[in-house]
Amino acid sequence: MPDLSVDLCGLKMANPTILASGILGISRASLALAVRGGAGAVTTKSISVEPRKGHPAPIIITYSGGMLNSVGYSNPGIDNVADEFADVRDVGAPVIGSLTGRDEEDYAILAEKAGRLGFDALEIVLSCPHTPGYGTMAGLSTPEITERITRRVKAATSRPVFVKLSPNVMALTELAKAAEAGGANAITAVNTAGPGMIIDIKSRRPILGGRIGGLSGDALRPIAVRCVFEIYEAVKIPIIGTGGVSTGEHAAEMLLAGATAVGIGTAVHDRGADVFRKVAEELSALMEAEGLRSIHEMRGGAHEA
């Protein structure tokens, strides 16, 4: 049996799959559901400073190419998740706390408070494409701001910090380098693309309650693979390759592009909450067929030596 285990910045994972932020992840119980489904690590839904109700429904729709979501960062706010996430040991795998802020100040507050909870690492989201006041819509996807915020967050916590990037920027490698310069321990690539819109032709209304939504799933995968490939050549820190992974083949593609671990979100819809086990088993079978013993032998394999 090939060895699928991964040490990601000190997070000991039984396999390289990670539940991506915003899918399940509102509570320890919902994270544990993904762990029972085989996830090597799990990420919480993004937490903001203030409570947020999120957008009206539909918040998620799927079409032939993938998924659009406009959840709108609904969450009870950092002060109200303390009870839920103070101790996360019953989740059964490493837990990454996802944080989303409007500006540098927000991130400093979030990192300081989240750093006192049970999270094994923190992920800062500088890349949501469809929530006004956050991510790319707040102009957080510039190298200067990325480096500044990363540095502030690193100063506020002793936990490993992952920086989550958007596929929508041209200067992607500049952002990855800026995150590395700011002290990031890993890069999560990527968040959703777009935003996109789907209109109901009978009622002539955009279907999503938030009208526009981030694109994920199949349509995103080639973009995500390209982003991981480029970032791998630009930085030395590990990459969590995320976007459209739903099979062992897709996971292998991400590893070959340069990822150390793979995030999975949308595929929970198509293949169920145990998609993580399915992907890990498929990856294992594929490696066995190729005579590979450890996934380290795959990482970055698509790059010329």
Ligand X SMILES: Cc1cc2nc3c(=O)[nH]c(=O)nc-3n(C[C@H](O)[C@H](O)[C@H](O)COP(=O)(O)O)c2cc1C
Q: Which stretch binds ligand X (CB under 6 A): 76-84, 212-220, 230-238, 280-288?
A: 212-220
Look at residues 15, 143, 30, 141 and name the one whose alpha carbon lies nearest to residue 81: 30
Query: In the set 15, 141, 146, 242, which binds ligand X (CB under 6 A)?
Result: 242
Name which of ligand X, another protein, none residue 21 binds, using a CB cut-off of 5 to 8 Å depending on partner kind. Answer: ligand X
The backbone region for 22, taken as left when phi is positive above 0, alpha when psi lies in -120 to 50, beta otherwise, is left
Are 168 and 195 in contact by the 8 Å Cβ rule? The answer is no
Q: Is 141 in the site for ligand X (CB under 6 A)?
A: no
State the burial class of residue 282 (Cβ atoms within 10 Å of its Cβ: 0-12, 13-18, 19+): middle
Q: How many Å separate Cα 76 from the centre of its chain? A: 20
> What pairs with residue 43 in β-bridges?
96
Count other C-beta atoms under 10 Å from residue 102's C-beta. Answer: 17
User: Is 45:84 a contact under the CB 8 Å cutoff?
Assistant: no
Does the annotation count 227 as an active-site position? no
Establish if 277 lies at the interface with another protein (CB under 8 A): no
Residues 247 to 276 in contact with ligand X, rule: CB under 6 A: 263-267
- 17-56: contacts with ligand X (CB under 6 A): 20-23, 45-46
| 29 binds another protein per the rule CB under 8 A | yes
Q: Which is nearer to another protein, 55 or 154 (CB)?
A: 55
What are the tokens at 171?
């200067």
Residue 279 as a binder of ligand X (CB under 6 A): the answer is no
Which one of another protein, ligand X, none interacts with residue 36, CB within 5 to 8 A by kind? another protein
Task: Give the count of residues interacting with ligand X (CB under 6 A).
Answer: 28
Give the interface with ligand X as residue ranges (CB under 6 A): 20-23, 45-46, 60, 67, 69, 71, 73, 98, 125, 164, 191-192, 216-217, 220, 242-245, 263-267
**Positions marked catalytic:** 128
